[in-house]
Amino acid sequence: MKKYDVAAYIWPAYTGDEPRTRMFWPEGIGEWQSVKNVADTMPFKPAGYNWDRKPLWGYVNEADPYVMEMQIEAAVDHGVNVFIYDWYWYDNRPFLENCLNDGFLKAKNRDKMKFFIMWANHDANTLWDRRTSQQETTIWEGKVTPEQFYIIGKRWIEQYFALDCYYKIDGKPVVSIYDVANFINGLGGVEQAKDALKWLREEAVRAGLPGVHIQMIKWGERHLNLSGVDGSTMQLGQLEALKVLEFDSCTHYQYAHFADIDQDYEKIMQEVYQEWARVQDNVQVPYYPHVSIGWDNNPRFFAFRPGVTTNNTPQQVQKAFEAAKEFSDRYNTVPLITVNSWNEWTETSYLEPDTMYGYGYLEAIRNVFL
């Protein structure tokens, strides 16, 4: 049977080991604090709405290698064989690296699966702290200068890219970039961003690697607002950026980036299939199909916010995996499927077992890919 690379994004905030997490989650258990303390009485919530699930594995520290050994076993047993770690760089230093460095990379069974980095270079704001989440005030900017990017790139190459368990395509380590506009604006413009990616590839070659496979996170029809050094602004379409910056592939991170998620999952999937087809027809590099489990970020707020995916049962999500498999078979030589996510609990889009569906979402993957 054909082997598929089912890659689940990991939100590495379910640990208190990173000191700077205490400013958002002072209980010292990372964003489990928001999951554990979801308000029983939420103002303005519609009749019948109740976020009442809990993790079957408990509020575990995902920077603990013993915890990750258990999670790796559960993942590979159900067909998830790649983790994509959201990777952050704020205030001139890494943030939330602990889950990868201390959890996954110190797990004795880490070689049972692969991992790669998705640079989550978006701004960090007060959203992560329920006490201030309504304010949406920026705490750290996600854009970086060329000097900072050189430090970041060398860190990736020296710490991760050469590892046997790092995921590669054609021998090249894969890294994806979440916010292309932030990337371009921080570097100083399109040409500077292009030069930076060229430098990263060449630096990897100097380190003995065949290069780097650089992947863009796609956002529907979104245009990138770019700021010039003279104060002017311009817009660049995502498809244009994909071509100009010479990305090697693209995928998505969340249905919420391009679809109306405030509806039934089956209806959302009709928009998703249209997006897959549109991207496939308009890009000259591989598009790797993406499946999101759902969306509901009310655990991050006190008052109810609209935008809740309904009927996203394991049975419905399994149909999405079946479609992704069919797409991959038809168009891609590398059978990579990305999934949101392994553990985005506060966005209600996770594979980890809970008290509502048990192992249902993981079983949906196993039913399709194993």
Domain ranges of the chain: 5-369
The pLDDT of 98-112, averaged and rounded, is: 98
pLDDT at 68: 98
Do residues 108 and 145 lie in contact, with contact meaning Cβ atoms separated by under 8 Å? no
Contacts of residue 26, defined as CB under 8 A and 6 or more positions apart, other chains included, come to: 33
In the predicted model, what is the mean pLDDT of the chain? Answer: 94
Q: What is the H or E stretch that residue 288 is in?
A: none
The pLDDT of 343-369, averaged and rounded, is: 98
- DSSP β-ladder status, 223-227 and 233-237: antiparallel
pLDDT at 223: 64
Residue 158 identity (one-letter amino acid) = E
Do residues 118 and 9 lie in contact, with contact meaning Cβ atoms separated by under 8 Å? yes
pLDDT grade for 325, boundaries at 50, 70 and 90 = very high
pLDDT digits (tens, 9 = 90+) for 209-262: 999 999 999 997 666 666 654 455 567 778 888 899 999 999 999 999 999 999
Cα separation, 194 vs 174, in Å, equals 17
Which two structure tokens, joined as six digits, stand for 44? 């303005």
Cα separation, 269 vs 255, in Å, equals 9
5-369 CATH pick, 3.40.718.10, 3.20.20.80, 3.40.50.10490, 3.40.50.2300: 3.20.20.80
The pLDDT of 86-111, averaged and rounded, is: 98
Percent of the chain with pLDDT over 90: 88
- Phi first, then psi, for residue 187 (nearest 5°) are -75, -20
The alpha-carbon radius of gyration of the chain (Å, integer) is 20
pLDDT digits (tens, 9 = 90+) for 271-324: 999 999 999 999 999 999 999 999 999 999 999 999 999 999 999 999 999 999
pLDDT at 229: 46
DSSP codes, 19-41 = GGGGGT-TTSSTTHHHHHT--SS
Cβ count near 251 (within 10 Å):
21
